[in-house]
Amino acid sequence: MSNENFSVTPWEVKGKVDYDKLIIQFGTQKITPELKEEISKLIGGDLHVMLRRDIFFSHRDLDLILKDYRNGKGFFLYTGRAPSLGMHIGHLIPFIFTKWLQDKFKVNVYIEITDDEKFMRNQEYTLEQTRQWAYDNILDIIAVGFDPDKTFIFQDTEYIKNMYPITTKIAKKLTFNEVKATFGLELSSNIGIIFYPALQIAPTMFEKKRCLIPAGIDQDPYWRLQRDIAESLGYYKAAQIHSKFLPPLTGPEGKMSSSIPESAIYLTDDPKTVERKIMKYAFSGGQPTVELHRKLGGNTEIDVSFQWLYYFFEPDDNKIREIEEEYRSGKMLTGELKEILIEKLNNTLEEHRQMKEMAKDKVRLFKYDGKLATEMWNKIHE
């Protein structure tokens, strides 16, 4: 990674990511038009905006997942979240997409909430805090609209008893050397964080079907380890579908991150805050004066407001093309583009807040694992 001017790890994204180069670095596959066509045929309808626009752009074994689906073997979905004080709109990406996959393929979804990971990785947080955040983040995740009959949300510090047998088997297969090299750990790293990868890998083995993981590509190092050991434990190598990162407000480099408040719109931001942040911070691809802008037009490649609309806030393909043309030609000014985004964002956030309010009554439904007639469940309770 050192000879590139960007880097992607599970903890940090630096620079402007070249996603084609990342595919080569990480050894993953590009999602081809043929693969998209096949998905469209299997679901008998249109693709999600994030697939159409290559926000989900890379994969491993997605072709095998589709084959298992066609043959009636089926598959299951797994994704997760290390809880923080507040989720931002970038965090919605994997969950919105996972929900769409669940709707289309009617499969089980497992969602791991790693309150332990967050605690062990950050000196300043207490376990009580990360557990409290877990509850709040779970409400945000439920608000995305998962099917309670097919979705199991579990929190590591609570569910550990049931995960421990498979985690122990995984841990025995991984050496400190491998984990240290994969995650850049030090001899001085606490031993919790050394063990933790076994816990993130465990849910890929919750069923004896192939597992598909929708997530940002930053999580890839875990899956590389999983793929080295899965078959020796009698499970499938995990398949993945990777997304790009929603850029921070402040510019096209890096990713939106909860630890940099001016980079993010939080799910709790009220309409006034959204307006203020976008107007003040949203990095513009426009020209310095109106006159120049009318003449030269704006650059949609680096304009964060346009990028956010493109990622998913303007799912209508005709409308986004229109906005792109008008902005590039100079007909639309930066302020006008920002107004469009502010309205879309506030509508989405308002809807989310209402769904989150309703989620409070549903937590037990989502955390109840008895509904999942999986081998995991049977094994635990036999």
- Contacts to ligand TYM by CB under 6 A: 10, 78-82, 90-91, 93-94, 112, 114, 117, 200, 213, 215-216, 218-219, 243, 245-246, 255-256
Q: Least distance to ligand TYM from the beta carbon of 22, Å?
A: 13
Alpha helices of the chain — where are they, by DSSP H? 19-26, 33-43, 49-52, 62-70, 92-105, 115-121, 127-142, 156-173, 176-183, 191-201, 220-229, 271-281, 290-296, 304-308, 317-329, 334-359, 363-367, 375-381
CB 245 to ligand TYM: min, Å: 4
Distance of CA 348 to the CA centre of its chain: 18
Residue nearest to ligand TYM (CB): 216
Max Cα-Cα span within the chain:
74
- As a whole number of angstroms, the distance between CA 99 and CA 357 comes to 19
Closest distance of CB 249 from ligand TYM, Å:
11
SS3 374: coil
Of 323, 283, 281, the closest CA to residue 304 belongs to 283
One-character DSSP codes across 167-200: HHHHHHH--HHHHHHHHT--TTS-HHHHHHHHHH
DSSP string, 208-254: SSEEEEEEEGGGHHHHHHHHHHTGGGT-PPPEEEEEPPPPPTT-SSS
Nearest approach, Cβ of residue 197 and ligand TYM (Å):
9
Smallest distance from the beta carbon of 196 to ligand TYM, in angstroms?
A: 8
Q: Give residue for tokens 């999580």.
A: 219
94 or 286: whose CB is closer to ligand TYM? Answer: 94
Residue 34 CB, shortest distance to ligand TYM, in Å, is: 25
Nearer to ligand TYM, 93 or 198 (CB): 93
Place of tokens 């793929």: 227
Cβ-based nearer residue to ligand TYM, 86 or 148: 86
Nearest approach, Cβ of residue 24 and ligand TYM (Å): 20
* Residue 219 vs 299, nearer CB to ligand TYM: 219
DSSP state of 289: S
Alpha-carbon span 57 to 212, nearest angstrom: 15
How near is the Cβ of 213 to ligand TYM at its closest, in Å? 5
Residue 219 φ/ψ, nearest 5 degrees: -80, 0
Backbone angles phi, psi at 229, to 5 degrees: -115, -15
Q: State which residue, 254 or 286, has the beta carbon closest to ligand TYM.
A: 254
Measured from the CB atom, the residue of 255 and 338 that comes closer to ligand TYM is 255
Between residues 239 and 333, which has the closer beta carbon with respect to ligand TYM? 239
Taking the least distance from each CB to ligand TYM, the nearer of 150 and 336 is 150
CB of 200 to ligand TYM, least distance (A): 5
Closer Cβ to ligand TYM, 83 or 297, answer by number: 83
Tokens representing residue 20 in the block: 């084609």
CA distance 35 to 33: 5
How many Cβ atoms from other residues are within 10 Å of residue 53's Cβ? 17
